[in-house]
């Protein structure tokens, strides 16, 4: 095998690992972004017992978080 072939495969593996790392970081960021709405929805669900109200609370808190983050 030539030196170019070895370096080429290493480069491909490196690029794939970098892309996987970026995807994992984006997933972690998305999960962290929804922690506060999730906690709010759980609290509403525990108080009311209604998944409908919990879903509404999740959506409202997530939208408020997006609106105030943009300001």
| Per-residue model confidence as pLDDT tens digits over 12-70 | 888 899 999 999 999 998 888 888 899 999 999 999 999 999 999 999 999 998 888 76
Helix intervals (H) in the chain:
3-33, 35-48, 51-70
* Cβ contact 42:54 at 8 Å: yes
**pLDDT(2) > 90:** no
What's residue 43's pLDDT? 96
Secondary structure (3-state) at 11: helix
Mean pLDDT of 7-12: 75
Indicate the pTM of the whole model.
Answer: 0.63
Q: Using CA atoms, how far apart are residues 4 and 45, in angstroms rounded to an integer? A: 60
What's residue 6's pLDDT? 57
């Amino acid at each position: 095998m030539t030196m170019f072939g070895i370096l080429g495969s290493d480069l491909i593996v490196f690029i794939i690992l970098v892309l996987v790392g970026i995807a994992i970081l984006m997933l972690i960021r998305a999960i962290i972004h929804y922690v506060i709405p999730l906690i709010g929805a759980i609290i509403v669900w525990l108080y009311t017992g209604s998944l409908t109200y919990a879903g509404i609370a999740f959506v409202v808190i997530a939208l408020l978080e997006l609106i105030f983050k943009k300001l």
